[in-house]
């Protein structure tokens, strides 16, 4: 019992400290720290929540998002933030699952009192955590949630990541351009992941629409490391093209094992393989994999030139799609906050009203981003014009590689 009391007391103290530390509306002695949802809107730095996977296998994707939003925070604060008030990103690691994402969202919404959230990394996580933000009236922009149905989760949910229906078909068309003789297609997908299930549907439909033959569909789990049986089944069906919908670690391993078992045809990777973090998994055997892109470093626009330079200076390589999309998520909130503040000083708005007004403003705006000119449908779906396909080019030793954009 004593132990319980001690532990409870220390939990309460820790919670109080956390609340004080995280609450951006805490201006010091004359302002009461208030964690209820009627607290006034931000008076110092404006807190924007970042809920992406910083740990687990999903961090192979989430890491690039952290880089992108950090560049955005500096970029926009260097240019005066929101009409003179800086923004402050508040990070909560979601890890790779739903429970971690729900926790991260709840902490950002109730304790950190963020005005909005950029996150999470996976659609699988979005389907369980976004409804919490939606009910709380907190605007969310998915930086990489591409499954069908994300904006339809609710009024407060949008995305800056174009859906699989728009992106995925481009890689199949590119494969046919590289090899017009492709006829027989094998499809692999992770059956425990919402994005992979959604993307494979689009791939399978595209294969049929292009008059190709879908010869086998092989299933796996994102937690799998051994793909011998699926890879053997797939290869035995004699495909000219293999299409994989999974995440980075499993996807990279599957590519490696397909090549080790002797498959020589073209491989298309879906969005979950869209990171140079797969290079350490499939090494030289990653070479040639085609992946559709919703971002090109070569896009010529003032903001992309600056974003690309900032990324290159920090990382000595071209910015990847996930960093560009995460940057864009922060950008959209900053520009919408600016527009809002020019109409009504956001410092005077109670937080719930600010969140609601921000959500409306996000949907009303047009943004010139590293992804090009974008806007949103009334449901929060991104409207974007430019898409690309890249092919992985590995050095022969397999230690370094890059994404080469196809013309």
Give residues in contact with ligand 1QQ (CB under 6 A).
61, 121-123, 144-147, 195, 247, 271-272
CA distance 77 to 170: 36
Shortest separation between residue 195's beta carbon and ligand 1QQ, angstroms: 3
- Asked if residues 51 and 118 have their Cβ atoms less than 8 Å apart, the reply is yes
Whichever of 145 and 331 has its CB closer to ligand 1QQ, that residue is 145
Residue nearest to ligand 1QQ (CB): 195
Whichever of 322 and 367 has its CB closer to ligand 1QQ, that residue is 322
Report the DSSP pairing between strands 157-159 and 184-190.
Answer: unpaired
CA distance 392 to 285: 10
Shortest separation between residue 134's beta carbon and ligand 1QQ, angstroms: 17
CA distance 70 to 348: 27
In angstroms, how far is the first alpha carbon of the chain from the final one? 70
CA distance 326 to 6: 42
Count CB atoms within 10 A of the CB of residue 35.
17
Shortest separation between residue 273's beta carbon and ligand 1QQ, angstroms: 8
The alpha carbon of 306 is separated from its chain's Cα centroid by a whole number of angstroms, namely 21
- Asked if residues 136 and 112 have their Cβ atoms less than 8 Å apart, the reply is no
3-class SS at 21? helix
Whichever of 39 and 160 has its CB closer to ligand 1QQ, that residue is 160
Whichever of 52 and 337 has its CB closer to ligand 1QQ, that residue is 52
Whichever of 115 and 324 has its CB closer to ligand 1QQ, that residue is 324
CA distance 407 to 401: 19
Shortest separation between residue 167's beta carbon and ligand 1QQ, angstroms: 9
Whichever of 204 and 232 has its CB closer to ligand 1QQ, that residue is 204
Q: Where are the beta strands (DSSP E) in 309-369?
A: 367-369
Shortest separation between residue 359's beta carbon and ligand 1QQ, angstroms: 21
Crossing angle for the helix pair 98-106 and 123-136, to the nearest 10 degrees = 30
Shortest separation between residue 41's beta carbon and ligand 1QQ, angstroms: 31
Whichever of 123 and 293 has its CB closer to ligand 1QQ, that residue is 123
Shortest separation between residue 346's beta carbon and ligand 1QQ, angstroms: 31
């Amino acid at each position: 019992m004593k132990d319980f009391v001690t532990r409870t007391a220390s939990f309460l103290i820790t919670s109080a400290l956390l609340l004080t530390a995280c609450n951006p509306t805490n201006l010091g002695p004359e302002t009461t720290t208030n964690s209820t949802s009627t607290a006034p809107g931000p008076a110092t730095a404006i807190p924007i929540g970042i809920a992406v996977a910083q740990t687990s296998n999903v961090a192979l994707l989430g890491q690039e998002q952290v880089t992108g939003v950090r560049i955005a925070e500096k970029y926009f604060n260097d240019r005066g933030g929101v009409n003179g008030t800086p923004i402050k990103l508040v990070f909560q690691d979601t890890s790779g699952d739903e429970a971690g994402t729900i926790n991260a969202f709840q902490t950002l919404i109730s304790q950190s009192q963020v005005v909005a959230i950029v996150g999470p990394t996976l659609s699988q996580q979005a389907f369980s955590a976004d409804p919490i933000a939606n009910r709380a009236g907190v605007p969310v922009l998915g930086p990489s949630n591409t499954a069908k149905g994300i904006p339809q989760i609710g009024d407060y949910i949008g995305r800056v990541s174009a859906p699989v229906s728009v992106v995925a078909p481009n890689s199949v068309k590119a494969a046919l351009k590289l090899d017009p003789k492709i006829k027989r297609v094998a499809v692999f997908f992770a059956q425990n992941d919402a994005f992979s299930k959604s993307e494979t549907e689009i791939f399978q439909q595209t294969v049929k629409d292009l008059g190709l033959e879908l010869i086998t569909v092989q299933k796996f789990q994102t937690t799998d490391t051994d793909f011998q049986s699926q890879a053997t089944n797939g290869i035995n069906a004699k495909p000219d093209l293999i299409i994989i919908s999974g995440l980075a670690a499993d996807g990279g391993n599957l590519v490696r094992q397909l090549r080790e078992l002797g498959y020589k045809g073209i491989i298309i990777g879906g969005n979950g393989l869209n990171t140079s973090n797969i290079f350490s998994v499939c090494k030289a055997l990653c070479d040639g994999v085609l992946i559709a892109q919703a971002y090109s470093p070569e896009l010529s626009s003032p903001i992309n030139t600056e974003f690309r330079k900032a990324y290159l200076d920090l990382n000595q390589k071209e910015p990847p799609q996930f960093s560009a999309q995460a940057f864009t998520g922060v950008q959209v909130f900053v520009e919408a906050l600016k527009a809002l503040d020019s109409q009504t000083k956001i410092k005077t708005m109670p937080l719930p009203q600010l969140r609601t007004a921000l959500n409306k403003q996000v949907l009303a705006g047009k943004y010139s981003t590293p992804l090009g000119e974008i806007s949103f449908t009334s449901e929060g779906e991104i409207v974007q014009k430019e898409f690309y396909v890249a092919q992985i080019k590995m050095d022969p030793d397999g230690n370094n590689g890059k994404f080469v954009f196809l013309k």
